[in-house]
């Protein structure tokens, strides 16, 4: 029934699917239809192999061991940093800090920059569509320091409501905003917000967890001050995230976690910090994970981030059309209605079936969607729902996956008629 609007896809998804071993798996006798990449993506053979190869040939602790495999490990680790810098348009690798996830990246900024720059009488600006990772660190710090937290509201079309931007941004020291909502798919106008922040004398932190995996990223074009993202959402391994920040900021910020590698000297009565970026990398970093992230970046670069974006716009359009045509008023898809203004994250309300029940029934058909508040409870309250069922698309998804989702949705009527 949807054959009439087959999309013109710049990616060869059949070939891509074959790169992802887990997609060959069956669930309840059906092929796995993985539609939960916004929570975490799957890894291609190329990433798994890179990590395995590294582990069986060049693994050692990093930080300038003298022997050959330690040199190779160091080179592998620092090459990953270089690859990250290139991937996001960072002017230098010195400004790329490896963390365990984007949550730690944001907490690092809160503890280091925030703790020394925010106090009573100050204020910061977040939005109502932030992930808890970009709310709770600020709530925690505000409890301690007594600054004010303001929120940009979400408009009824599920974009940011910028009507009151001038008033809300006036006097704030930081704007911290997601580049793409993990619930609505909304793409936020980062360049405009950065300009407004700078005009107001504020810095801007961009939570790019959902952006970097799906669209070309250029931190300089954004004119951002801090940008964080996470490896496991861009075909990479768990256990690694990235904080990029302008060099001058990193230079000026106090260290966060203390320990090995982040020091220049330690005495019983004091210590001095190492250079950036190592000043912010206490202890043994996620070494093999950095190598995996590098391979993931290479994989995506091989596909081309422009092509990845085009694929997702087309497939999101196909999904919106298919679901709306097949289910009409029985389905509500949150977020902007134009595919070009959003990412491939489809938060659904379907008849009166609760998202948990929806996800449970879809699973019987091999279809993986996440049900819950997606770590965005304030946004859920704004939407007036307790939870949504979220289907999210990535490079390994195609129309057949969307069709499988639609077919499985029909099947909910067995129990919830």
Partner 1 sequence: MAGLEDLYREIILDHYRSPRNRGALEVPPAVRSEGFNPLCGDEITVYLAVADGVVEDVKIEAQGCSISQSSASMLSMAVKGKPVDEVRDISRQFLAMMHTHESSLEGDDEQVAVDEKALGDLAALQGVVKFPPRIKCATLAWYTLGQGLDEAAGAAPT
Ligand X SMILES: Cc1ncc(COP(=O)(O)O)c(C=O)c1O
Q: Does 377 bind its own copies (CB under 8 A)?
A: yes
Interface mask toward ligand X for 145-184; x: CB under 6 A: ---------------------------------x---x--
How many CA atoms are closer than 13 Å to the CA of 330, on its beta-carbon side?
14
Residue 375 annotated to the active site: yes
Binds its own copies by CB under 8 A, chosen from 17, 88, 96, 103:
103
Cis ω on the peptide bond leading into residue 277 (within 30° of 0)?
yes
Binds ligand X by CB under 6 A, chosen from 266, 283, 340, 386:
283
Evaluate whether 65 touches 77 at the Cβ level (below 8 Å): no
Within 10 angstroms of residue 1's Cβ, the number of other Cβ atoms is 9
Q: Closest approach of Cβ 411 to ligand X, in Å?
A: 28
DSSP codes of every residue in 158-220: SSB--TTHHHHHTT-SEEEEESB-TTT-BBP-HHHHHHHHHHTT-EEEEE-TTTTTTS---HH
Q: Closest approach of Cβ 239 to ligand X, in Å?
A: 10
CA 171 to chain centre: 28
DSSP bridge pairs for 178: 207
Which of 200, 380 has the CB closer to ligand X? 380
Q: Does 65 bind ligand X (CB under 6 A)?
A: no
Which of 68, 163 has the CB closer to its own copies? 68
Which of 310, 354 has the CB closer to its own copies? 354
Q: Closest approach of Cβ 148 to partner 1, in Å?
A: 26
Q: Which stretch binds its own copies (CB under 8 A): 213-221, 295-303, 371-379, 406-414?
A: 371-379
Site size for its own copies, by CB under 8 A?
93
Which of 294, 370 has the CB closer to ligand X? 370
Question: What are the residues whose beta carbons fall under 8 Å from the beta carbon of 261, sequence distance 6 or more?
Answer: 63, 274, 278, 281, 282, 283, 284, 285
Q: Closest approach of Cβ 328 to its own copies, in Å?
A: 26
Residues 33, 148: Cα–Cα separation, whole Å? 44
Between the CA atoms of 286, 292, 294 and 296, what dihedral angle is there, to the nearest 10 degrees? -140
Q: Which two tokens stand for residue 272?
A: 């001095």
Which of 163, 272 has the CB closer to partner 1? 272
Task: Tell me which residues touch ligand X (CB under 6 A).
Answer: 101-103, 131, 133, 178, 182, 207, 209-210, 230, 241, 260, 283-284, 375
Q: Among all residues, which ones are annotated catalytic?
A: 375
């Amino acid at each position: 029934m949807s054959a009439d609007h087959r999309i013109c896809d710049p990616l060869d998804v059949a070939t891509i699917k074959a790169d992802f071993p887990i997609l060959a798996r069956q669930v309840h006798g059906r092929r796995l239809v993985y539609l939960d990449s916004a929570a975490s993506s799957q890894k291609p053979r190329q990433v798994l192999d890179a990590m395995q190869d590294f582990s069986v040939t060049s693994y050692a602790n990093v930080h300038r061991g003298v022997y050959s495999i330690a040199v190779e490990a160091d080179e592998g680790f620092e090459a990953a940093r270089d690859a990250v810098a290139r991937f996001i348009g960072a002017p230098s690798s010195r400004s790329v800090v490896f963390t365990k996830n984007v949550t730690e990246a944001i907490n690092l900024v809160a503890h280091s920059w925030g703790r020394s720059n925010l106090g009573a009488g100050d204020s910061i600006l977040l939005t109502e569509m932030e992930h808890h990772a970009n709310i709770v660190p600020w709530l925690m710090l505000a409890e301690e320091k007594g600054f004010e937290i303001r929120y940009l509201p979400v408009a009824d079309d599920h974009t940011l409501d910028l009507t009151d931007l001038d008033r809300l941004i006036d006097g704030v020291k930081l704007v911290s905003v997601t580049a793409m909502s993990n619930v609505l798919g909304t793409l936020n106008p980062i360049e405009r917000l950065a300009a407004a922040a700078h005009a107001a004398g504020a810095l801007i932190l961009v939570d790019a967890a959902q952006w970097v995996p799906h669209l070309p990223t250029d931190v300089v074009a954004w004119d951002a001050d801090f940008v964080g993202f996470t490896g496991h959402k861009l075909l990479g391994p768990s256990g690694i995230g990235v904080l990029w920040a302008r060099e001058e900021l990193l230079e000026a910020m106090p260290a966060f976690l203390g320990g090995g590698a982040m020091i220049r000297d330690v005495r019983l009565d004091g210590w001095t910090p190492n250079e950036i970026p190592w000043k912010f990398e206490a202890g043994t970093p996620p070494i093999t994970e950095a190598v995996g992230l590098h391979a993931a970046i290479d994989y995506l670069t091989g596909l081309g981030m422009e092509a990845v974006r085009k694929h997702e716009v087309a497939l999101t359009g196909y999904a919106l059309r298919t679901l709306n045509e097949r289910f009409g008023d029985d389905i509500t898809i949150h977020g902007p209605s134009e595919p070009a203004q959003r990412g491939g994250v489809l938060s659904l309300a379907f008849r009166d079936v609760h998202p948990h029940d929806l996800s449970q029934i879809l699973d019987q058909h091999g279809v993986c969607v996440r049900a819950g508040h997606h770590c965005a409870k304030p946004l859920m309250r704004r939407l007036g729902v307790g939870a949504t069922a979220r289907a999210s698309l990535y490079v390994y998804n195609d129309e057949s996956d969307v069709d499988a989702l639609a077919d499985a949705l029909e099947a909910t009527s067995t129990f919830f008629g």
